[in-house]
Structure 1
Amino acid sequence: MAPSLQPAPRISMVAGETSGDLLAGLLLDGLQAQWPGVAGQGIGGPQMQRRGFTAWWPSERLAVHGYSVELLRRLWGIVQIRKQLRRRLLADPPQVFIGVDAPDFNLGLEFDLRAGGIKTVHFVCPSIWAWRAERIEKIKRSADHVLCIFPFEPALLARHGIAATYVGHPLANVIPMQPDREAARARLGMAPGDEVLAILPGSRSAEVDYIAAPFLRAAALLRQARPALRMVIPAVPALRARIEQVVRECGMAEAVQVVEGQSHTVLAACDCTLIASGTATLEAALFKRPMVIGYHMHPISWRLMRRKQLQPWVGLPNILCGEFVVPELIQDAATPEALAAAVTQWLDAPTQSPDTLAVLEQRFTALHETLRRDTPRLAADAIQKILAA
């Protein structure tokens, strides 16, 4: 991408949680190729700060689980952050505001900023095709433009008069088409012939509270049947101590390796992953790894979410493939016994049903090719056009 001759625009960004920080960091790569020196300010995490972004608040301050009881516990602090940020941006306006995911926080903020004359971009279309379809009107009022990571989304938004651009999924370029399993295992101190299970209990504190224990109890059952099974958890740094505590409480301290970060290395190394529903499931699919998707939340949150669910699937790989290509065990179904049994089927597949693994790899490879675009360049080009309009 040839750098623009125009001076770097003043931008503000808000990214919530680990996944949003990753996406925003990749977007900054494209913006900095277009405008060397652009950095931005607002709410962000370590990936953004590594690229020069000034974080007035860290991304994890916006991380919540569910949208009822857990949200209410932290609602006051989040509302105050948004009020302070709104005042700050309206008093000293950027040329463009980019809200990265976190729609509950960003769409309301974008509405106010747009009303104040600031151009607004929302990066990652809220999953109105999966649940909460009523959000479409809020998107229309809030965003001048939406950057979409799935190819079917721009046409859906266009039907409602919302300008949008498909930019591909940034992770599809970060993750290699053919991951090097042996190199990843070497980095983790594992042998090429080891049988490896990756356990990913989520990147939010409340997810760990609800999901880690059932996952670890399932791991204990698997360990009984497969004593040589290597198990590894890539822990978000802020949650490592909590995860290690749950590992100890479940009596798995000697059996489970906990590493800080390195989720991509762990997914590349594994034979199968037991994984919480979320962006990480798409990462696992791009690594072409079989998985068992599990999730558990507060019962009130679960009842509210189910009422707004539009599709039979929860996990992104199943949603994007349009069928249950991998098992989902959600809420009451996510028992340690059921989780362990589902993982066992994948671990046994190389000898008992190798064709199933081959078909899954083909589906995930096709998905990877569909999502693979030059996301940083396409996103930066779209933002440049918005600024020039």
Structure 2
Amino acid sequence: MAHLFISTGEVSGDLQGALLVKALYRLAADRNIPLRISALGGDRMAAAGATVLFNTGGIGSVGLLEALPLVKTTIALQLKARRYLQRHPPDLVVLIDYIGGNMAMGGFIRKHFAVPMVYYIAPQEWVWSHSLKTTRQIVALSDRLIAIFPEEAKYYRQHGANVVWVGHPLLDRIAAAPSREAARQALGIGPEELAIALLPLSRKQEIRSLLPLILGAATNIAKVYPHARFWLPLSLQQYRPSIEAALQHYPIRVTLADDSLLVLAAADLAIAKSGTVNLETALLNVPQVVIYRVNPISLWLYRIFLNFNLDFVSPPNLLAGKAIVPELLQENATVQTITATALGLLANPEQQAAMKAEYRAMRRAMGTPGVVERAATEILDLLTHH
């Protein structure tokens, strides 16, 4: 039986990993390849059939200072995973995003096992290359680099990687989303009711840094639209108690939900942290306001030592190369600015229509459905031909 090991971290990596695990098992069965998958991942990958060695869902962070409290836990997980692999050698390894953990894990695997290694959803060095050293490390680790963005494929190919572009896997996830009408019916939203999705967090740090901003803005929006209804999808169940405690301080009713696709499919507006969820929101044709904050010292360190200076941070704007959704970052992310931007968008049908037109162009640049199956095919081909 072939042993495939997948290494990822954070909620978005777990989501993409789960889609890949399902496709790998399905295609392996079609090819009569006995396969078992072990992983560093989260609950979604476990539900898809992977043996999750250690759950990485709660160790994600953005920012240098924000990462410090998680270093000890991350190192401990890495060491345990290494011991497991030495007892159960893999036949092929897939790394998904998660640059900090996967650079270390990939280096260990390259040193101890003569097996093919695939980088699927490579770190976004094509957007904010810290140094060519990191790019070269990624290329050196990757016998095959499976790219999801055209610019990603171009960048890594120029630096010597064996690259195949498959498109963005969210196209496959969105294919399973309900229609707007079905979603609103399932949530009990009337045709004339205003539904607003609040998407403040997938990392623990964001409970403190972003949740109060979004709930404060939602409170202000409710004063202008008294009959607006608010939903907050949970990225991890472990955050429910903290979110419920925070909600006690706001005079609005927010419904916590488990299915983000259902909520987004029904929404008239989303107020969301920067991340993968911005692409989901765009693919579901929902106008959005994007926010993010990190510790100011973290940002200063990034700018001084890593030359971090981006025009955009949200995936839709990065993919389009221009501002198609409003971004409120750092000191610009306040309750007042979020409120004003959201209310301005709600009151301006022309702005909403322009944003949706840009969404359609963005979607065309993301490829065609069948992405995860193409990625799984590349991986199984490499496994069987090695």
Q: Classify the secondary structure of the residue corresponding to 1:233.
A: strand
Shift of 1:362: 2.1
Contact preservation (8 Å) 2:14, 2:57: no
Contact preservation (8 Å) 1:101, 1:123: yes
5 Å-filtered alignment, 1:232-381, equals 232-236=231-235, 237-252=237-252, 255-259=253-257, 261-307=258-304, 308-350=307-349, 353=350, 356-371=351-366, 372-381=368-377
5 Å-filtered alignment, 1:1-389, equals 9-36=2-29, 38-61=35-58, 63-116=59-112, 117-134=114-131, 135-176=134-175, 180-236=179-235, 237-252=237-252, 255-259=253-257, 261-307=258-304, 308-350=307-349, 353=350, 356-371=351-366, 372-387=368-383, 388-389=385-386
CA distance in structure 1 between the aligned counterparts of 2:130 and 2:149, rounded to whole angstroms: 16
Shift of 1:316: 0.7
Q: Unaligned 5+ residue runs, structure 1?
A: 1-7
Q: Classify the secondary structure of the residue corresponding to 2:126.
A: coil
Q: Report the AA paired with residue 244 of structure 1.
A: E
CA distance in structure 2 between the aligned counterparts of 1:367 and 1:136, rounded to whole angstroms: 26
The Cα offsets for residues 281-312 of structure 1, whole Å up to 9 and x where unpaired, read as 11111111111001112222222334543530
Q: Classify the secondary structure of the residue corresponding to 2:286.
A: coil
The Cα offsets for residues 5-45 of structure 1, whole Å up to 9 and x where unpaired, read as xxx52101122122111111111122112212534112122
Q: Classify the secondary structure of the residue corresponding to 2:2.
A: coil
Extract structure 1 runs of 4+ deviating beyond 4 A: none
The Cα offsets for residues 143-176 of structure 1, whole Å up to 9 and x where unpaired, read as 2222111122222111111112112111112214
CA distance in structure 1 between the aligned counterparts of 2:277 and 2:54, rounded to whole angstroms: 24
Q: Classify the secondary structure of the residue corresponding to 2:95.
A: strand
Normalised by the length of structure 2, the TM-score is 0.92
Contact preservation (8 Å) 1:211, 1:296: yes
Q: Report the AA paired with residue 45 of structure 1.
A: G
CA distance in structure 2 between the aligned counterparts of 1:169 and 1:367, rounded to whole angstroms: 11
Contact preservation (8 Å) 1:179, 1:287: no
Q: Classify the secondary structure of the residue corresponding to 2:125.
A: coil
CA distance in structure 2 between the aligned counterparts of 1:258 and 1:228, rounded to whole angstroms: 18
Normalised by the length of structure 1, the TM-score is 0.91
CA distance in structure 2 between the aligned counterparts of 1:68 and 1:210, rounded to whole angstroms: 15
Query: Paired residues, what number?
Result: 374
User: Partner residue of 1:5?
Assistant: none
Distance change (3 Å), C-alpha of 1:160 and 1:90: farther
Q: Unaligned 5+ residue runs, structure 2?
A: none
The Cα offsets for residues 39-96 of structure 1, whole Å up to 9 and x where unpaired, read as 41121222211222111111214x2322422211121121121122123213431111
Q: Classify the secondary structure of the residue corresponding to 2:108.
A: helix
Name the % identity: 29
